Structure 1
Amino acid sequence: MSKRVWGTIISSAIIIGAGAGGVFWIHQHTADEMALAPKLAVAFSKQADQPKAKTTSNTTEKKTRKQIIEDSQRKVVTIESSDGLGSGFLYNNKGDVITNAHVVEGSKEVTIRTLDHQEYQGTVIGFGEETDVAVVRVPDLVKMEPLPIASAKAEVGDEILALGSPLGFENTVTTGIISGLDRSFEIPPYIYTNLYQISAPITNGNSGGPLINAETGEVLGINSTVVKQEGGLGFSIPITSVLKQVEQWSERSPDTKGAQTVRDSSSQTSSAALSEAEALVADFYNYLNMSDYVSAYALLGSEWQSGTSYAKFREGYTYTSYVSVEKISSASTSKEEMEVSGVIAAEERKDGEYVTTQYNVTYQVGYENGQLKILHGQGKKKK
């Protein structure tokens, strides 16, 4: 659902971790803010038809719901920072805890409390400035078994468990289902994209806690925000969308070694994938023409986002009112990447007048965590 539509549904939203008492409005953009900056070589994406099979447990014997809860609670922690309380969970065997960035914001050292009420000191080793995710290293938890991480995305209707410390009530578990997919909005300074909407009740203190598949015990997401409306709506960041960044923080920390990824480029990209990539270009420009910059920015790959902040991305579109796609084509470059080329016409405001200029644009498109994203790109004025 686009941000424009969300504006008619959601009145306000809050971050639900430490110091999260304030209410943040989800802002809408007016038509006169529409713009495009071809020099940014804009990105595009749309969820490709991909298998969304439910993840399966690695155990030979299926656990009961009660067993899954008991096992999970031992790996979920309460985080106490200078601003208040939040939640987190162990995700690897290095003693690293995933949480929300807003839970540990302003703190380098935090207190970690486990299910048995033992307290340990943790150090923030990774922190997102626009992505609401952080990692805390706790040396005393190195030998503790982490929660298993799901490798596939959830589907609407999947049963879930939300664990954490809402309002300071530690070791709380609430149940529900995935009630919506791909929700995106902005709660400054964070940009939330492709979120899970959940029916399990969450509130202040749940931030950073895990969203768990009730059938397998695997982590699906990070509980992060709640919308203040009758009944309340909760949202969780899919773990698949941030796992790469989280792992990089862990690898860069002392006494760890970086891992290498090798791409297999031996097979051809299907014609269906190429067609979808071309269609995504038009979708991306539609977002820009509707001033839905949050959704457009969400379509950039992680490397592109790390080099271009949301503020700069949006600022680049200040003087362009409308863009039309005049020509588009695509070609396979490897198993996981495609090149999409096209000609666009941008109506730009110069010296109080609107002038239409054509640009040649080229993008390298590939999959990140199962979703098609723009990895690199460039735009050049057509002579």
Structure 2
Amino acid sequence: MFCSKCGCMNSVTTKNCLNCGQPLDRTTRIKKHKRRQRLNFFVVAILFLGTGFGSARMFQQPADDQPETAVERAVATEPQANPPLERAATETVTQPQDTQTSSGDGTKAKTDIIKDTQQKVFTIKTDNAYGSGFLFTDTGTIVTSAHLIIGTIDVSVRTTDGVEEPGKVIGISETYDIALIQVDAFAGTEPLEVETNPTEIGTEVIALGSPSGLENTAAIGYLTGIDRDFDHGFLYKDMYQIDAQIAPGSSGGPLIDASTGKVIGINALLLNEGNAIGFSIPMYSMTELLQGWATEPMSENEVEDVYDTY
């Protein structure tokens, strides 16, 4: 502030003039200092309000007044021929490979193969044993294992729906562990398709049957070996080795190619040392014999004569 005596400029907090020593009026100094502070505050407030009001108007500007260049460019560069991402992702996963009914190379989905095959796989029951079998011809013949039916002519055949039908043995081998049963109730039903050629190692397979009494069970695995020979009451020659889980009761059930649905083997043996290993009789090696029985059935006396040779 200015000294009233000599006019020298002094600080607002100075009590006496630095030039002439004249006492400065403290009240006046304080009032002038406060007046200057209020003036500075009003100036800053006005600047702040002006800036905020301008910003608010900018954000509240109507859409029609906003620049349209960026939006138009984005729309123009979007590839109109491509579908939205969500639609493309949905269309990609709606049909997984394993649920497709078929493909161009003749393969089928395993779920469809199991569902169709189970309707033609049966539980075979006698007074002394039970096992499995499958429909071989449309005349009602069923393939099963010979060791299941030794000593009997009449058997009971139960469907996947629990319906039991009477069956009669019309074919049995003295050498191989296979037999054929006639069930008139199944005449006219389309049989399972049979593979007439050898199957390669590594083929994915499905073993169906009634292991441990669990009727119509399906087990998936691989064909892990071929040309296995055994002499165990019957002659087991060129057997298929599989890692699909089978158990007592699986005998006579079909071994299915998991890609074509064709019968490639007849489940017969279980090597139970450590991890159980299953063996199936190759279907291609028995087709001719089975078809002979279906065409010219053995009589009851002929079947009993075979039993006498065991």
Scaled by the length of structure 2, the TM-score of the pair is 0.62
Aligned length: 199
Q: Which is higher, the Rg of structure 1 or of structure 2?
A: 2
Provide the residue aligned with 1:183 in structure 2. 228
The residue type equivalent to 2:272 in the other structure is K
Name the SS of the counterpart of 1:89 in structure 2.
strand
Provide the residue aligned with 1:159 in structure 2. 204
- Choose from 149, 165, 180 the match for 1:120: 165
- Choose from 188, 193, 205 the match for 1:148: 193
The 1:60/1:179 distance shift into structure 2, 3 A limit, reads closer
Measured in 1, the distance between the counterparts of 2:175 and 2:128 equals 19
Name the SS of the counterpart of 1:154 in structure 2.
coil
Measured in 2, the distance between the counterparts of 1:85 and 1:144 equals 23
Measured in 2, the distance between the counterparts of 1:173 and 1:72 equals 10
Provide the residue aligned with 1:202 in structure 2. 246
- Choose from 108, 121, 127 the match for 1:76: 121
- Choose from 64, 67, 70 the match for 2:109: 64
Name the SS of the counterpart of 1:248 in structure 2.
helix
Provide the residue aligned with 2:177 in structure 1. 132
Contact 1:82 1:106 in 2 (8 A): no
Contact 1:78 1:86 in 2 (8 A): yes
Contact 1:195 1:236 in 2 (8 A): yes
Measured in 1, the distance between the counterparts of 2:188 and 2:202 equals 35
Name the SS of the counterpart of 1:97 in structure 2.
strand
Residue 63 of structure 1 deviates from its aligned partner by 2.6
Residue 62 of structure 1 deviates from its aligned partner by 4.2
Say if 2:291 is the partner of 1:247.
yes
The residue type equivalent to 2:289 in the other structure is Q
Measured in 1, the distance between the counterparts of 2:294 and 2:142 equals 10
Q: Deviations over 1:26-74 (max 9, x none)?
A: xxxxxxxxxxxxxxxxxxxxxxxxxxxxxxx999864311000000000
Provide structure 1 residue ranges, at least 5 long, that are not aligned to the other structure: 1-56, 255-310, 312-383
Contact 2:206 2:255 in 1 (8 A): yes
Measured in 2, the distance between the counterparts of 1:141 and 1:220 equals 22
Residue 172 of structure 1 deviates from its aligned partner by 0.3
Residue 121 of structure 1 deviates from its aligned partner by 0.3
Provide the residue aligned with 2:146 in structure 1. 101
Residue 142 of structure 1 deviates from its aligned partner by 0.3
Name the SS of the counterpart of 2:286 in structure 1.
helix
The 1:62/1:228 distance shift into structure 2, 3 A limit, reads closer
The 1:179/1:60 distance shift into structure 2, 3 A limit, reads closer
Contact 2:196 2:287 in 1 (8 A): no
- Choose from 282, 285, 289 the match for 1:238: 282
Provide structure 2 residue ranges, at least 5 long, that are not aligned to the other structure: 1-101, 299-309
Name the SS of the counterpart of 1:129 in structure 2.
coil
The 1:118/1:191 distance shift into structure 2, 3 A limit, reads same
Measured in 2, the distance between the counterparts of 1:193 and 1:157 equals 20
* Alignment of structure 1 residues 1-383 onto 2, 5 Å: 62-188=107-233, 190-253=234-297
The residue type equivalent to 1:145 in the other structure is E
Measured in 2, the distance between the counterparts of 1:58 and 1:185 equals 38
Measured in 1, the distance between the counterparts of 2:158 and 2:150 equals 18
The 1:243/1:166 distance shift into structure 2, 3 A limit, reads same
Measured in 1, the distance between the counterparts of 2:208 and 2:111 equals 13
The 1:140/1:185 distance shift into structure 2, 3 A limit, reads same
Name the SS of the counterpart of 2:288 in structure 1.
helix
Alignment RMSD:
2.1
The residue type equivalent to 2:280 in the other structure is S
The residue type equivalent to 1:119 in the other structure is E
Percent identity over paired residues:
40
Measured in 1, the distance between the counterparts of 2:207 and 2:252 equals 10
Q: Deviations over 1:299-349 (max 9, x none)?
A: xxxxxxxxxxxx9xxxxxxxxxxxxxxxxxxxxxxxxxxxxxxxxxxxxxx
Q: Deviations over 1:261-291 (max 9, x none)?
A: xxxxxxxxxxxxxxxxxxxxxxxxxxxxxxx
Residue 209 of structure 1 deviates from its aligned partner by 0.0
Provide the residue aligned with 1:291 in structure 2. none
The residue type equivalent to 1:169 in the other structure is L
The residue type equivalent to 2:260 in the other structure is T
Select the structure with the greater relative contact order (CA < 8 A; seq sep ≥ 6).
Answer: 1
